[in-house]
């Protein structure tokens, strides 16, 4: 359960990654230390930074530089990969097109999803069928993003091995039928700076992305190094800033992990307000369960919380599709 935290912890996960393929990883003292930190972060804040994650700084920066180049293009150029229902809700959306709780968000974005082939999930996956729409300009966008997404997928799987241990399970709780064929979502997001009118900052609406929780298991956010815009709400209702820490990912847990943990871990409300005059980009990677998995509290977590399941089963794909259709439909 989220507490009245005032800052977000930084966790060096390199000891976990060094042993993540060892079935006896739980016995390693370095892994145990990381697991303890993950448990505290997930229990108290639902947010944490990770360093020592093994993805080179050069790649984190190259991805962000490429996003700035794309968002700098003329509007007509960006519209060449415009999101439509026919593309499975993949592609570019203009500022104000994404809706959070009925209010247009002041950002533009490219939305990408793991490919869903026709008929793969029957009627459940129909709305999400399609391939990602990658721009031809800037060059090598598709190649770089596919490599980056692959690295984020591996990293997320390994962090979740640590979180599974933190919950008291085996490292592989979130594999197999739960997330052995994990779905993923990537949002490449651009937040305009405050508009200057007669020298005075006067935004039409300063909410870059309204208060929300994430849908899946784990989110990795790669944000610009020089602008603080992400805010996380603690139990007292205060908004706590998550300033950029170069070379790290900001991580947070989503609704599906909250259900698996039977509420031991909370998916925390967060929002984005870019008060800077500079344009800000971030790349949010969402690691999810298998698309058609029915998520319900883990037995180990139910035992820790009085033996009663606090949440009903939720099918991840239904949860995602309902959110997507609400946001863009």
The answer to whether 148 and 59 have CB atoms below 8 angstroms apart is yes
- CA atoms of 6 and 44, how far apart (whole Å): 10
| CA–CA dist 320, 116 (Å, integer) | 13
C-alpha to C-alpha distance for 239 and 89, rounded to whole angstroms: 31
**CA angle centred on 326, ends 133 and 42, rounded to 5°:** 85
Phi, psi of 51 (to 5 degrees): -120, 170
- Give which of 45, 60, 56 is closest to 222, Cα–Cα: 60
Please state, in angstroms and rounded to a whole number, the distance separating the CA atoms of residues 204 and 153.
Answer: 37
Q: Write phi, then psi, for 20 (nearest 5 degrees).
A: -65, -20
Q: What is the pLDDT of residue 197?
A: 33
pLDDT for 208: 76
Pure H helices in the chain: 14-18, 29-44, 57-71, 75-78, 122-125, 141-166, 255-260, 299-304, 316-328
Question: Which of 123, 132, 122, 120 has the alpha carbon at shortest distance from 89?
Answer: 132
Could you list the pLDDT tens digit for every one of the 329 residues in the chain? 556 899 999 999 999 999 999 999 999 999 999 999 999 999 999 999 999 999 999 999 999 999 999 999 999 999 999 999 999 999 999 887 787 777 777 899 999 999 999 999 999 999 999 999 999 999 999 999 999 999 999 999 999 999 999 999 999 999 999 999 999 999 999 999 876 333 444 445 567 787 788 999 999 999 999 999 899 999 899 999 999 999 999 999 999 999 999 999 999 998 998 989 999 999 999 999 999 999 999 999 999 999 999 999 999 999 899 988 887 64
Q: How far apart are the first and last CA of the chain?
A: 33
The C-alpha atoms of residue 303 and residue 286 are separated, in whole angstroms, by 28
Question: What pLDDT does 103 receive?
Answer: 74
Which pLDDT belongs to residue 2?
56
CA-only gyration radius of the chain, Å: 19
Contact 328, 83 (CB under 8 A): yes
The answer to whether the CB of 66 falls within 8 A of the CB of 72 is no
How far apart CA 48 and CA 81 sit, in angstroms, is: 33
Sequence-distant (6+) residues with CB within 8 A of 223 are 229, 230, 244, 250, 280, 281, 282
**Per-residue confidence (pLDDT) for residue 199, from 0 to 100:** 44
> Residue 224: what pLDDT?
95
Give pLDDT, residue 106: 85
Task: Identify the three-state secondary structure at position 128.
Answer: helix
| CB proximity list for 300: less than 8 A, separation 6 or greater | 167, 168, 169
Using alpha carbons only, give the angle 182, 221, 39 rounded to the nearest 5 degrees. 70
**Spatial contact of 89 and 111, defined as CB atoms under 8 Å apart:** yes
pLDDT score for 328: 61
Q: Alpha-carbon distance 42 to 253, whole Å?
A: 7
């Amino acid at each position: 359960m989220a507490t009245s935290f005032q800052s977000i912890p930084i966790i060096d996960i390199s000891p976990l990654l060094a042993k993540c393929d060892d079935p006896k990883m739980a016995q390693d003292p370095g892994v145990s230390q990381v697991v303890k930190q993950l448990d505290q972060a997930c229990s108290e804040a639902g947010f944490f930074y990770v360093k020592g994650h093994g993805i080179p700084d050069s790649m984190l920066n190259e991805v962000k530089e490429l996003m700035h180049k794309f968002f700098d293009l003329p509007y007509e150029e960006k519209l060449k990969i415009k999101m439509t229902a026919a593309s499975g809700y993949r592609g570019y959306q203009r500022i104000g097109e994404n809706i959070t709780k009925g209010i247009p968000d002041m950002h533009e974005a490219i939305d990408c999803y793991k490919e869903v082939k026709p008929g793969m999930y029957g009627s459940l996956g129909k709305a999400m069928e399609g391939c990602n729409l990658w721009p031809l300009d800037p060059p090598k966008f598709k190649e770089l993003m596919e490599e980056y997404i692959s690295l984020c997928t591996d990293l997320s799987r390994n962090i979740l091995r640590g979180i599974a241990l933190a919950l008291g399970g085996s490292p592989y709780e979130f594999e197999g039928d739960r997330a052995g064929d994990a779905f993923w979502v990537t949002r490449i997001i651009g937040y305009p700076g405050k508009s200057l009118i007669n020298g005075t900052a006067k935004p039409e609406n300063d909410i870059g992305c309204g208060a929300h929780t994430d849908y899946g298991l784990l989110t990795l956010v790669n944000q610009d190094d020089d602008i603080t815009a992400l805010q996380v709400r603690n139990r007292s209702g205060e908004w706590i800033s998550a300033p950029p820490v170069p070379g790290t990912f900001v991580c947070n847990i989503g609704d599906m992990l909250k259900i698996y943990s039977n509420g031991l871990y909370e998916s925390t409300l967060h929002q984005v307000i870019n008060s800077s005059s500079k344009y800000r980009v971030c790349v949010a990677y969402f690691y999810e369960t298998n698309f058609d998995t029915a998520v319900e509290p883990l037995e180990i977590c139910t035992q820790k919380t009085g033996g009663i399941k606090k949440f009903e089963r939720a099918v991840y794909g239904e949860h995602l599709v309902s959110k997507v259709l609400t946001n863009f439909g």
